[in-house]
Structure 1
């Protein structure tokens, strides 16, 4: 075995020659099963190119050897040439060629071996390992200056080899069964006693001594049976990358070859410069290979240098960054990065095979797909653009009423969404329906419910099509959201203190439903206390694609846990969706929230504050989120009955430990009126503990003063008043009915405006003028006249829509965004925004009004 010899031995700065061995299954075109008919083809193939084709252990598998080259384009051309020659000869015998780690269907006669003294010796010695070696791989040979350099390359490359396996994974099926692995070939391959990650070696002499020991032990019968994932060639001055599955796509092989050569260049440079070899535990390397074989590109991978699990997009990006200089010097960076991003957007061959099996209900369809991809047929989803391969089934009749975030006015997909829509089109409606069943099962398993009056076990509605926010958008939003939260906090502090904004006429007192009194808890926080530590700010995109603030939620804003859960469910049931450049990690949100809560501990807390989350209990519709956040932050989840008031403190009843910070996910009136573990009402003890600096309530009581929509129209002007800054994010035009002139305008334009009660929440009491009946408009007009200060009205803006799966197609649905800001220790926007989705023909996104949600991807 091995590519054609070359005498190039060049420095890292020069050209480095490479070659590729590809292994292919032969399948019968009628049965689609692998068949042992390589001997029939071999003479004809070797007559065409004697050095290019060779038999393998199994007579149903044939190997091709490319010409040595230093150019990826030339390599691709030669791979296409060899595949074409093989396919043409196979066609004439009623056979097809499959490039994949395994083929789903295997003829019983294919279980023998190719007649050869070496192979027969392997059969006799290794028995089952030889019988089950119905697997194909791709090997890349790259020139190195000498064998010492080859050993150094092995050591420096070892932590990155599992990423190559994930990129190439193409063997999910074995003998008619789904193995549950993206690369079942790796499981079979690693049974051989000399297979797996490279051994930790010092130099060529150390390597040779190891081989001698293995031969002496009888573990292997010849040096060619060293099956390390990377090894020095037994007969050339090259190093071989052997970890990868065979690939149906030529571009997939070119990507692996480009990355392999960059790894070799990197290792040779390190060797020449005398850098020490990295040390990694063999067990961790093997675990990383197992994880790549299990996950492919559809699940987390092990970042060996960082010793962490990361999304596949992150793992690939880390590898590209690690090899950037080497790719640049080889002139391969643009090509390799483009192919890598395409691979991530497309997903692994293993995932595509499963999709085809699910869609068609049989494995013959999977073989047909692999035959087409291997041959590079025009309709192959691997080597041709989606626009040429898949009819736009999901977007066939897509007609957004206004600005749509994914689809432009002319019906074309916006650039940021092209890879996402392409992936969804490939999955298709039947595939998405299957994934929705998995979604429901996953949500039930997680207890991810949002109960309604008529359904105690209602699942939190989740559409599987994620929403994308570009880095530029997120940067602008971050600046504006922090500014908005700081303004709301400054206003709360002012209204509970000097009330300068009222004295200076910036905020009319009529806009407030009440003013805090000296005896109220909200007036008696310890100095320096943050009142609105966690803000939930609702935004919408208008018809011009501009972001606008819609509402401020400063009491007990919910949604962080649901945003995190959405991400986990989508990642679990739709692993083929992976953003090319990765997304911000929503799982970081709880740690950031915990840090913010502990930063607000009162002065008496000391160096180890005690934090708890207090909930009303399972009767709260958001209890799933309360439980999830408590678990993620590693803090107790308590109800009022789990607390005890003792000696001016609030303690955990079960342990007696004083509590320093309560993350309050319970209405303040409910908390104050509830009895503690001894039946003592909590109101006065909690107020005393807050007043004396023994307890922090987050968020503070009384935040509804600014949370009320009556204050909303004045926030932008208050930003300039407090900070001398123009508001970064515009607000939706809003009229206060407490003002006589504005009230008259509202009453004369009710059919054009959205009228809201200032203390409403969950979408309650909202009347959308353009969609309201005459009777509804008359009722709201009477209510406004009777209690003007109780209402505001907002302009009915054309809110952006987003593609949402409806069972057969994608349809536009109105969406908003709830983003979460914490003000301590440093003002920060959490990477956990929640996208909410309105039902069909509605502008109201609230879950209590039938709305749903989407996973929100903040692109890196």
Structure 2
């Protein structure tokens, strides 16, 4: 299908964005997940309370920014929300930690007492009781739903690169898994999570989701957990492929890149460009490689089907979105933060560095993560 805009479309130079960050609540001594989310949420007040959400585990909280227009504003909100959540966690006897997967153990795996969560538990059984995982979801305002579906098609070749940049969960059961993102491996057990299929139109998307609900794969449209989707609740495209990022600046970097990428491919759609129909098995393989290697090895270039050094693909992504970054006034910040990540490594690399220096002391890693999660006082 060729996209035909009903209007001039959104102003691609000023797309809004918002970020959802999921955090674990961990015991400072053992590193185990603590089921104190209700106490943490009750301990929040004001804007932080309004912008908090209950999650699927008693050891998780989610903090959600409002709809914003620029990265500096996004950073201020993330700092405030993380600080408030970290304070409330400490008051509840836990530590707020930005890590993609449960690093040690999750003893209490029952779901919160809500009908939908109980229905998910009954339908999906042990999969619904895996240890907690935490993601970073970036929403970019795109009210034209037909355009949003086509944008999702165009994003498919680049999402493994975004996934690799965010890799922040190498640990499981107190051990290094050999994967940069163990969260991605855990999530593969869910039937409605993974690379987004190619859709010809919004009608094709809706019909497919309806078929999956009828087949019992999803309870409802809210269980579309593909790596990018037109949001079920907001007029946005939601990119949900990444682990939660260790620091505020890591999160803002990802948000800036994602917004510029959405603006870039949306312009391509308006110009009549068609997204490549890449085989699903190759897209899945590219995401597995991103979850395994992060930015330390090769990634699959889905434009050619060949493996290339990960940072070469990051450079290609940056070059692609540079015009959009310049229009949004974000180029310098994103370029500086990419240079920092190139020097420091991804969250997974930083964790492994601490693990090596501490003779495999996981508590040292969690101390490091907790310190990175809480923003420095302004």
**TM-score bin, normalised by smaller chain:** over 0.9
Q: Give CA-to-partner distance per residue, 1:725-750, whole Å, 9 cap, x none.
A: xxxxxxxxxxxxxxxxxxxxxxxxxx
Aligned-residue RMSD, C-alpha: 1.7
Distance in 2 (alpha carbons) for counterparts of 1:48 and 1:323: 33
Give the Å deviation of 1:128: 1.9
Q: Give CA-to-partner distance per residue, 1:57-79, whole Å, 9 cap, x none.
A: 01101000002111001101100
Q: Give CA-to-partner distance per residue, 1:455-485, whole Å, 9 cap, x none.
A: xxxxxxxxxxxxxxxxxxxxxxxxxxxxxxx
Which residue of the partner structure matches residue 260 of structure 1?
A: 258
Which residue of the partner structure matches residue 371 of structure 1?
A: 370
Which residue of the partner structure matches residue 324 of structure 1?
A: 322
Which residue of the partner structure matches residue 360 of structure 1?
A: 358
Give the Å deviation of 1:133: 4.5
Distance 1:194 1:107, change over 3 A: closer
Which residue of the partner structure matches residue 56 of structure 1?
A: 55
Which residue of the partner structure matches residue 123 of structure 1?
A: 121
Give the Å deviation of 1:376: 2.9
SS of match in other structure, 1:261: helix
Distance in 2 (alpha carbons) for counterparts of 1:65 and 1:205: 30
Which residue of the partner structure matches residue 177 of structure 2?
A: 179
SS of match in other structure, 1:323: helix
Which residue of the partner structure matches residue 197 of structure 1?
A: 195
Give the Å deviation of 1:238: 0.3
Which residue of the partner structure matches residue 79 of structure 1?
A: 78
Give the Å deviation of 1:152: 0.9
Distance in 2 (alpha carbons) for counterparts of 1:48 and 1:339: 28
Give the Å deviation of 1:334: 1.6
Which residue of the partner structure matches residue 22 of structure 2?
A: 23
SS of match in other structure, 1:159: coil
Distance in 1 (alpha carbons) for counterparts of 2:34 and 2:91: 15
Distance 1:222 1:205, change over 3 A: same
Is 1:346 the counterpart of 2:309? The answer is no
Which residue of the partner structure matches residue 232 of structure 1?
A: 230
Within a 5 Å distance, the mapping from 1:298-697 to structure 2 comes to: 298-361=296-359, 362-377=361-376
Which residue of the partner structure matches residue 36 of structure 1?
A: 35
Distance in 2 (alpha carbons) for counterparts of 1:27 and 1:197: 30
Distance in 1 (alpha carbons) for counterparts of 2:13 and 2:365: 43
Q: Give CA-to-partner distance per residue, 1:404-452, whole Å, 9 cap, x none.
A: xxxxxxxxxxxxxxxxxxxxxxxxxxxxxxxxxxxxxxxxxxxxxxxxx
Which residue of the partner structure matches residue 206 of structure 1?
A: 204
SS of match in other structure, 1:108: coil
Q: Is the 8 A contact 1:52 1:66 kept in 2?
A: yes
RCO higher in structure (CA 8 A, sep ≥6): 2
Give the Å deviation of 1:10: 6.4
Which residue of the partner structure matches residue 791 of structure 1?
A: none
Which residue of the partner structure matches residue 279 of structure 2?
A: 281
Is 1:150 the counterpart of 2:130? The answer is no
Give the Å deviation of 1:249: 0.9
Q: Is the 8 A contact 1:23 1:99 kept in 2?
A: yes
Distance 1:66 1:10, change over 3 A: farther
Q: Is the 8 A contact 2:164 2:293 kept in 1?
A: yes
Q: Is the 8 A contact 1:17 1:70 kept in 2?
A: yes
How many corresponding residue pairs? 370
Give the Å deviation of 1:17: 0.3
Distance in 2 (alpha carbons) for counterparts of 1:190 and 1:34: 21
Which residue of the partner structure matches residue 106 of structure 1?
A: 105
Q: Is the 8 A contact 1:297 1:348 kept in 2?
A: yes
Distance in 2 (alpha carbons) for counterparts of 1:359 and 1:337: 29
Q: Is the 8 A contact 2:23 2:61 kept in 1?
A: yes
Distance in 1 (alpha carbons) for counterparts of 2:99 and 2:83: 16
Which residue of the partner structure matches residue 296 of structure 1?
A: 294
Distance in 2 (alpha carbons) for counterparts of 1:72 and 1:47: 23
Q: Is the 8 A contact 2:36 2:92 kept in 1?
A: no
SS of match in other structure, 1:139: strand
Q: Give CA-to-partner distance per residue, 1:743-774, whole Å, 9 cap, x none.
A: xxxxxxxxxxxxxxxxxxxxxxxxxxxxxxxx
Distance in 2 (alpha carbons) for counterparts of 1:261 and 1:94: 37
Distance in 2 (alpha carbons) for counterparts of 1:331 and 1:206: 36
Distance in 2 (alpha carbons) for counterparts of 1:73 and 1:244: 21
Distance in 2 (alpha carbons) for counterparts of 1:330 and 1:282: 33
Give the TM-score normalised by structure 1: 0.42
Within a 5 Å distance, the mapping from 1:731-770 to structure 2 comes to: none
Give the Å deviation of 1:44: 2.5
Distance in 2 (alpha carbons) for counterparts of 1:114 and 1:178: 29
Which residue of the partner structure matches residue 70 of structure 1?
A: 69
Which residue of the partner structure matches residue 542 of structure 1?
A: none
Q: Is the 8 A contact 2:170 2:176 kept in 1?
A: yes
Q: Give CA-to-partner distance per residue, 1:554-597, whole Å, 9 cap, x none.
A: xxxxxxxxxxxxxxxxxxxxxxxxxxxxxxxxxxxxxxxxxxxx
Give the Å deviation of 1:177: 2.1
Distance in 2 (alpha carbons) for counterparts of 1:213 and 1:46: 42
Q: Is the 8 A contact 1:12 1:268 kept in 2?
A: no
Gaps of 5+ in 2: 1-7
Gaps of 5+ in 1: 1-8, 384-860
Q: Give CA-to-partner distance per residue, 1:537-568, whole Å, 9 cap, x none.
A: xxxxxxxxxxxxxxxxxxxxxxxxxxxxxxxx
Distance in 1 (alpha carbons) for counterparts of 2:342 and 2:281: 27
Distance in 2 (alpha carbons) for counterparts of 1:340 and 1:190: 28
Distance 1:351 1:73, change over 3 A: same
Give the Å deviation of 1:11: 2.2
Distance in 2 (alpha carbons) for counterparts of 1:297 and 1:313: 6
SS of match in other structure, 1:58: coil
Which residue of the partner structure matches residue 161 of structure 1?
A: 159
Q: Is the 8 A contact 2:82 2:375 kept in 1?
A: no
